[in-house]
Amino acid sequence: MKLASYIAGGQECYGVVSGDGLITMRGHASLRDALAAGALEGMRTAAAVAKPDTKLSDVRFLPVIPNPHKILCAGVNYRDHAAEVGRELPKQPSMFIRFADTLVGHEGEMIRPKLSDNFDFEGELTMVIGKGGRHIPIDRALDHVAGYTIFVDGSVRDYQKFSVTSGKNWPGTGPLGPWLVTSDEIPDPSKLTLTTRLNGRQVQHSGTDKLIYSCRQIISFCSDFTTLHPGDIIATGTPEGVGHSRRPPLWMKPGDTLEVEISNIGVLRTKIVDEK
């Protein structure tokens, strides 16, 4: 099952993707609230007998979870990426935090800050928590995942040199979507393939089996230092090929189109614009 958040008829909605349409769900204020209420199976049952009421082409996509309680991101979590940036392998998951106002929906606009042109791409497999908790055992960690989606960790590299927080938290730099694919359709997240394209040119390509710390390990680690909640976003890191490691660097610029595709999930597409 694919679940999306979107604006239709001027209203914020969430629903089930069905072919080229959407079956709008009712009963909760947002997809995050529906996950917190344990409504996945109810949505599955309702969608099995309903017809789409809205076309995908008629909606404006929101970040798949527009209002997450937390956005946790793993840094330097592919061996080849660690090598290209000259970093030692982390001795434990290296996590940082993003703000909710950094998020952008599918087919939306990534905003290049006016204070920097060092605007870089990082395509990432991302988990959405369905069942919260603390001190989650590694062997039970995937039981807490509602599903998987795609994230772009848009990075302002000159600011990141001084502070990861400042380099990763400019508004409108974190596309999330296009939808959530429920975990029953992706039983093993280590068997996916991620591809990033800038203006149609492939710039990243990797299997998710190359993660240093697996989805299970990241969830367990995060749950040790913070309480996880339904709708929380956990990004797993990016593979090699980022712009700042190229010579010359490959920065995103206004007018560019960025696509990140992950097998069994789909394609997340955004346009790059300058901050107004």
Does residue 164 lie within any of the structural domains?
yes
Residue 88 pLDDT greater than 80, yes or no:
no
pTM: 0.97
Binned at pLDDT 50, 70 and 90, residue 81 comes out as confident
Binned at pLDDT 50, 70 and 90, residue 83 comes out as confident
Structure confidence at residue 124 (pLDDT): 98
Structure confidence at residue 242 (pLDDT): 96
Burial category of 29 from C-beta neighbours within 10 Å (exposed 0-12, middle 13-18, buried 19 and up): exposed
CB 82 within 8 A of CB 74: no
Strand 94-98 to strand 71-75: parallel, antiparallel, or no bridges (unpaired)? antiparallel
Average pLDDT over residues 127-135: 98
Average pLDDT over residues 223-251: 97
Regarding whether 131 and 112 lie in a shared domain, the answer is: yes
Average pLDDT over residues 71-100: 87
Residue 168 pLDDT greater than 80, yes or no:
yes
Our count of domains for the chain comes to 2
Regarding whether 254 and 226 lie in a shared domain, the answer is: yes
Provide the CATH number for the domain around residue 244.
Answer: 3.90.850.10
CA distances from 51 to 15, 20, 48, 196, 220 (A): 12, 11, 8, 33, 39
Residue 179 pLDDT greater than 80, yes or no:
yes
Residue 176 pLDDT greater than 80, yes or no:
yes
Does residue 254 lie within any of the structural domains?
yes
Structure confidence at residue 80 (pLDDT): 81
Residue 275 pLDDT greater than 80, yes or no:
yes
Rounded percentage of the chain residues whose pLDDT exceeds 90: 95
Q: Which residues are CB-neighbours of 67 under 8 A, at least 6 positions away? A: 30, 32, 100, 231
Which tens digit of pLDDT belongs to each residue from 197-216? 999 999 999 999 999 999 99
Binned at pLDDT 50, 70 and 90, residue 84 comes out as confident
Helix, coil or strand: residue 34: helix
Regarding whether 105 and 32 lie in a shared domain, the answer is: no
Does residue 66 lie within any of the structural domains?
no
Regarding whether 125 and 217 lie in a shared domain, the answer is: yes
Q: What is the DSSP letter of 213?
A: S
Regarding whether 52 and 112 lie in a shared domain, the answer is: no
User: Pick from 74, 225, 229: which is nearest to 135 by CA?
Assistant: 225
CA distance 175 to 235: 12
- Note down the domain range covering 155: 71-274
Average pLDDT over residues 32-55: 97
Does residue 211 lie within any of the structural domains?
yes
